[in-house]
Amino acid sequence: MARYNPKETEPKWRKAWADAEAFKAVREPGKPKYYVLEMFPYPSGRLHMGHVRNYSMGDVIARFKRARGFSVLHPMGWDAFGLPAENAAIERGVDPKEWTYANIDRMRAELKELGLSIDWSREFATCDVGYYGKQQAWFLDLLERGLVYRKESVVNWDPVDQTVLANEQVVDGRGWRSGAVVEKRKLNQWAMRITDYADQLTDDLATLDRWPDKVRVMQENWIGRSKGLKFRFHFAGEGPAEGLDVYTTRPDTLFGASFVGVAPDHPLAQMAAARDPKAAAFIEECRRGAATEAEIETAEKRGYDTGLRVKHPFDPDWELPVWIANFILMDYGTGAIFACPAHDQRDLDFVRKYGLPVKPVVLPPGEDAATFQVGDEAYTGPGVIYNSRFLDGLDIEAAKAEAIARIEALGDGEGATVFRLRDWGVSRQRAWGCPIPVVHCEKDGVVPLPKSALPVAHPADIEFGKSGNALERHPTWKHTTCPACGGPATRETDTLDTFVDSSWYFARFANPWADEPISQEDADYWLPVDQYIGGIEHAVLHLLYARFVTKALADDGQLSVREPFAGLFTQGMVTHETYRRQNGEWVEPKDVEIAAEGKTRRATLIETGEPVVIGDIEKMAKSKRNTVAPEEIFEVYGVDAARLFVLSDSPAERDVQWTTGGVQGAWRFVNRVWDEFDGHVPAPAAAEPDAEIRRATHKLIRQVTESIDGFRFNSGIARLYEFLNLLKANPAKDTTPAIAAARAEALSAFARLIAPFTPHLAEECWGRIGGEGLVVAAPWPEFDPALTEDAVKVLPVQVNGKRRGEITAPAGAEQAAVEAILKADPDISAKLEGLTIRKIIVVKDRIVNIVAA
RNA sequence: GCCGCCGUAGCUCAGUGGUAGAGCGCAUCCUUGGUAAGGCUGAGGUCGGCAGUUCAAUCCUGCCCGGCGGCACCA
């Protein structure tokens, strides 16, 4: 018997699959289709373990569905525009394009080595002119539809990356890539009207029943739809004639109003500042103190009374003061509020500081109107409205409806829906991105290019290597003629956010050769993506943008689906222990030797023998040096062992901890499997298969099938481990014809069941037992449901909830039959000596409990 | 503060309303022509805590403790 040699077998089978074009996606109208997609990688240059896990999961699904008779699309591409290439250009003087394509070449080779069942003929990179030129085409379509527009606005400016960021790319006031504190700048920017779809994007989340709840909740929160009332206060005395618009979600508490507040940036605040130096000073102070969002959130509430007064909408004689308050945001609602401190914590904190009145108008259940008071905590729970004239006695929802109706009747406002979501700013002041296909003409202004002028490609001699936008600096590229007047014009030098690139790539995969951006015929067949797999970090970025673009393109008649991803799975990360020398320097796992001493572990640096501190388990990252290079693992253990390990050791949605012992365990399994197949002896003809092994085989098929369907790869693999132990206990040699016959069926099923996880090993095993053709082309094994149940069940017998013995009964035995067996059992009878049986509870095929006294 | 996930063997994790499992690690032994290896056997768990529902709870419910993640002056 020879040891399994992955270095020889694995490349052999990859070649066989390629020669057979085993993974070519073909539209077959008679067959059900299945589109499996993993979030495409950024070509950073090297494959890491996270990629191995992500793409192995997708590969399990793709191979499984193919074996189950689906026509499968499983493509791969590259999210290839973006800053790292430009940063490499600045740091190392390389050309971003060359750098990117060289990285793609290397990573493609590594991905191919993983043995993924991908249709490589469909591969593209977003930096291919053939891709981004099509993107420019639909960009122009959306521009024409008014879904893309240009506006001067205050934007998030990342001073390190020298570009604008979308709101979604600002985390805790810092750039998501650079970590730099984001500044506010006023710029002319391209934006997409994602807010037009805010309602749909919220409502349609309910249809995504194969998405994790967590992601749906995150998107819902991000879009932040709230329903309420927009209405107008009229000024008492001086003040703008048009009044002051406010937004509230609590119109039911209008009679608890204490003051009216505006944001420091609000026009009314500006007006006050113009004639009141103290107001101006207060506004200035607010601006200074609020550099980051984190600071705004924790800042103490402060305000300034403008001296202006407004009339209460339901009582012209009731006047409310107008304050400027630092906690009011200009870009939400109308930038102005009415404050009801008794039922809003922020308002309460504010009025407690400035001595304004607090009047409760919602009476909590069980409280007495005469004695109920609000202390330091606002009451936001349910109750009955009081102190509120015509709203008295109503519950909160009824009072909201009544207040809105009254305001509408007065003509002072209407019910309104407000979103937290802002339009998507897509301009980036960087060269290594998709050029925006418009020109600026002195005479005609902003002019879209005709489609015949596409693609707008990068110049070949672009000079990177300095900060700022290289397209802007290029001596000739931007100078062109205006398609409208023929006069001189300059090209737009902003490029599109790379999230635009990734917002439609899944649709392009349906037919990457098509002249139009999306081939309707092919997209109608393949879309939506049946199973999308990727990290949770894109919950409100990529996944929201892709949903929006899908809807926008559907409305433009370019797509038939309104949701891109029918199923979403967010997989966990690959983690590893961290190691540090005494001086605090991080050390790579491969330089560390771990020795077990009893139950504790001790780490030393291999080179010097010095002790190393074992630190926390963290996501594999270069900064902590706790990475393990996939290619080194492939070299030692083979690809299959690596795939098996990252899938086997944790549930797919949770993090998996990479350990040497773990991958060695997977490697041992690979060898044990091969050993079992290598020792295979053909069964004598016509022998009746051993019933126990047969049942175990059919149970296994059922369990593995259900595990893959449910994304429980780890438990499916656990069942395979257990089954192998059973086979080892019934070895091929020196055995009965019955066992040999059962083993033949078992091995045939086993080879096909391991194929999604360890595809190379499966081929080798399949060949060894004389399987027909390639295992990738073999149908998934079927199980006989009758064989997955035992014919005879061992039922534990409890007396008063404690286990006192067991009986053997036929499967499905009912109460009467079981009671008969109980009576005939001398052991049980002995246990019941002197007791009166009150009740016998029989749970079919599970257990018997006798209640006795 | 709000929402979600997690807590089972030394470690990493499966699992189940009814006798508690895997891999690694640990111990013993075997093999020494699968040998920078292979195999047998074994020890090890009040299933985070308390209460409830139930004939029966590690599993369901509630509360608490601990860890992780997301959201958070959004009117």
Q: How far is the CA of A416 from the C1' of B9 (A)?
A: 58
Rounded CA separation A182/A171 (Å): 9
pLDDT at A66: 95
Q: How far is the CA of A600 from the C1' of B9 (A)?
A: 15
> What radius of gyration do chain A's Cα atoms show?
34
Distance (Å) from CA A330 to C1' B68?
34
Q: Which nucleotide is nearest to A841 (CA to C1')?
A: B55
**B chain positions with any atom within 7 Å of a protein CB:** 3-4, 10, 12-15, 17-19, 21-26, 34-35, 37-40, 55-57, 69-75
Which residues of chain A (137-176) touch nucleic strand B at CB < 7 A? Answer: 171
Q: Give the H/E segment covering residue A617.
A: strand A611-619
Gap between the Cα atoms of A527 and A559, Å rounded: 9
Spatial distance between the Cα atoms of A623 and A607, rounded to a whole number of angstroms: 21
- A302 touches A328 (CB < 8 A): no
How many residues make up chain A in this entry? 853
The residue lying closest to nucleotide B35, measuring its CA against C1', is: A3
Cβ A53 to strand B below 7 Å: no
b/e sequence A277-303, b meaning 16+ C-beta within 10 Å? eebbebbeebeeebeeeeeeeeeebbb
Asked whether residue A342's C-beta has any atom of DNA/RNA strand B within 7 A, the reply is: no
What's residue A467's pLDDT? 67
* A649 CA, B47 C1': Å apart: 19
User: Cα A591 to chain center, whole Å?
Assistant: 34
Q: Specify the pLDDT at position A1.
A: 45
Strand B within 7 A of A212 CB: no
CA of A203 to C1' of B3 (A): 19
From the CA of A831 to the C1' of B55: give the distance in Å: 17
Q: Is the CB of A798 under 7 A from strand B?
A: yes
**CA A802 → C1' B52, Å?**
21
At residue A2, the pLDDT reads 57
Quickly give A819 CA vs B52 C1' distance in Å.
Answer: 32
DSSP letter at A538?
A: G
Nucleotide nearest A419, CA–C1', reads: B74
The predicted pLDDT at position A21 comes to: 96
Neighbours of A328 (CB within 10 A): 27
- Does the nearest atom of strand B lie within 7 Å of A46's Cβ? no
Q: Is the CB of A352 under 7 A from strand B?
A: no
A661 touches strand B (CB under 7 A): yes
- Check whether residue A852 has its CB closer than 7 Å to nucleic acid strand B: no
A730 Cβ contacts chain B strand, under 7 Å: no
What is the mean pLDDT, run by run of 10 residues, along chain A of 853 residues? 79 96 93 95 90 91 94 97 84 88 96 95 97 97 95 80 77 75 82 92 88 84 87 91 91 93 90 91 75 51 90 94 89 88 87 89 85 82 89 90 93 90 87 95 94 93 78 90 94 94 97 97 96 86 93 96 92 82 83 69 79 78 84 88 85 80 84 85 76 83 85 82 78 74 88 93 92 94 79 69 69 76 74 72 74 69
Q: Which residues of A245-276 are buried (b: 16+ CB within 10 A; e: fewer)?
A: ebbbebbbbbbbbbbbbbbbbbebbebbbeee
Q: What is the pTM of this model?
A: 0.88
Burial of A675 (0-12, 13-18, 19+ CB in 10 A): middle
ipTM attached to this prediction: 0.81
Tokens describing residue A690: 């051993």
Instruction: Give the phi and the psi of residue A501 in degrees, each rounded to 5.
Output: -55, -40
Rounded to whole angstroms, how far apart are CA atoms A669 and A338? 68
Instruction: Output the pLDDT for position A679.
Output: 80
Rounded CA gap, A812 and A843, in Å? 10
Of A429, A426, A449, A451, residue with least CA distance to A437: A449
Rounded Cα gap, residues A136 and A451, in angstroms: 9
Structure token digits, residue A178: 């650079």
What is the dihedral angle through the alpha carbons of A177, A182, A183, A185, rounded to the nearest 10 degrees? 50
CA distance A159 to A606: 43
Q: Which residue is nearest to nucleotide B33 (CA to C1')?
A: A1
Instruction: Quote the pLDDT of residue A432.
Output: 93
Q: Which nucleotide is nearest to A799 (CA to C1')?
A: B55
Nucleic strand B under 7 Å from the C-beta of A572: no
Cβ of A665 < 7 Å from strand B? yes
SS3 A556: coil
- The separation between the first and the last C-alpha atoms of chain A, rounded to the nearest angstrom, is 63
Residues 229-248 of A with CB under 7 A from strand B: 247-248
Q: Give chain A residues 670-729 with Cβ within 7 A of strand B.
A: 671-672, 675, 712, 714-715, 718, 721-722, 725, 728
Say if residue A803 is exposed, middle or buried (CB neighbours under 10 Å; 0-12, 13-18, 19+): exposed
* Cα dihedral sign, A514-A518-A520-A523: positive
CB neighbours of A520 closer than 8 A, spacing ≥ 6? A558, A559, A560
The kind and range of the H/E element at A227 are strand A226-236
* Residue A30 backbone phi and psi in degrees, to 5: -80, -15
DSSP code for A511: -
The angle at the Cα of A503, spanning A500 to A505, to the nearest 5 degrees, equals 110
